[in-house]
Amino acid sequence: MPPSTKILRAPPALVFGTLLSMTYPPEEGTQRVLVATLYDGTDTLELRWPGRSSIPGLSVGQRLEVEGTVGRVGERTVIINPLYHVIAGEG
């Protein structure tokens, strides 16, 4: 069996939370990565958008619904290029 057929595919996760931070940490090479931290009430999740310097309409404090494949980078739980929806606040 070729190695690619042995890869297990995880289903996408759907997570609701509040955006705690948005940063641009230094990356090796020239590619920028927008990194945001989402808190779901129990833990934090790192969201990464490689090649993005900003995302219009996204800001700290917003409630989001994000969807994507969850992975690990070191000790961090990460979704790369998540789909997202801003959840309208009450008021």
**Is the per-residue pLDDT at 9 higher than 80?**
no
**Is the per-residue pLDDT at 91 higher than 50?**
no
CA angle 12, 17, 21 (to 5 degrees): 105
Count of alpha carbons within 13 angstroms of residue 19, beta-carbon side: 23
**Residue 5 pLDDT:** 52
Task: Read off the pLDDT band of 51 (50, 70, 90).
Answer: confident
Specify the higher pLDDT residue, 56 or 90: 56
Closest CA to 36 of 74, 11, 52, 3: 52
Give Cα 11 to chain centroid, integer Å.
15
Percent of the chain at pLDDT above 70?
Answer: 80
**Residue 44 pLDDT:** 95
Closest CA to 37 of 71, 67, 60, 65: 60
**Token pair in block for residue 51:** 């090649």
**Residue 19 pLDDT:** 96
